Amino acid sequence: MTAWKINLIEAGLPLPDAITLRVPSAPIGFVRKLCKKQRVVVGDQIGDISRTVQYGEQVLIKSSERWLELLERSPVQPAEILYEDTECLVINKPSGLAVHHAHGHDDDLKSRLQNFLQQRRERFQLAPIHRLDAGTSGAILFGKGKKATGQLGQELMAGGITKRYLALVQGVVDEAGELTTPVLAKGRMKAALTRFRPIDNNGWTTLLELELVTGRRHQIRKQLSEAGWPIIGDSRYHQRPRVAAERLLLHCRFLAYRNPVSGRMIEVVSPLPEDFIAELSRLGLPTRDLSGLIRQNTAT
């Protein structure tokens, strides 16, 4: 089954139109047949073809061979879009995918999103407002068009965008605090600030929540390594790891920002991906309380 929640841009649309906006590779006629065959559920009710969807409702589509083929044609999977309105889009980036086209990366997130918009016949350009390293997973904000992108970029520079991360680090961290070691940026050492608090540990690794106050390149990775708590799975800043991992265990789980046109405050939570949770389990850290770290996406 395929499930996702209705975004602000989809709210108020007839159910078939909302589905094709999220999965533009699906022909509208095919989607209407899915509704008529009662293969679509909205909330706890069968999705009627004439139903108008509301913000926050869950859509569930029962799988078929044809539906799975259409999903494979989509550059973006439905649940990867965490939030979207007319000015902004927040997507859940997987670990290992670069944001921009770069040497050594044949695939990148920006190109996927641009292809997705082309399938929707939307011609404006998308641009990322902040960075995530290729190995880092989680929420990343894109602006739609030059005006929104410029305004969101100004908001970022002014410190108006909140970003919180989860990281599994080597060592035991007992108390909350701040990382203030300077970080090299554009050839000069610049001030950098990261706030952190421990969530859980198993006696030799700690799950941390971190708030990125400044946004230097590799800031969290460098500062944690210099503090003696390198991120597990970080081959660049973890030269002699005690434990191996299949991925960099760093995830951007929370974004808060203001829509540049409406002034609406947007809060987006990116759930921990399955491979991150699997690594936590493999390394012996309890995962029973992780669901409490994941809130529902909200817009106020």
User: Which phi-psi region, left, alpha or beta, contains residue 180 (left: φ > 0; alpha: ψ -120 to 50)?
Assistant: alpha
DSSP class of residue 66 equals H
Query: In angstroms, what CA-CA distances link 109 with 18, 104, 196, 258?
Result: 23, 14, 28, 23
Amino acid at 27: P
For the chain, the first-to-last Cα distance in angstroms comes to 30
Among candidates 165, 150, 162, 168, which has minimal Cα distance to 245? 168
- The residue from 106, 108, 133, 234 that is catalytic is 133
Does residue 133 have an active-site annotation?
yes
Distance CA 244, CA 21 (A): 41
- Report phi then psi at 148, rounded to 5: -65, -40
Active site residues per annotation: 133
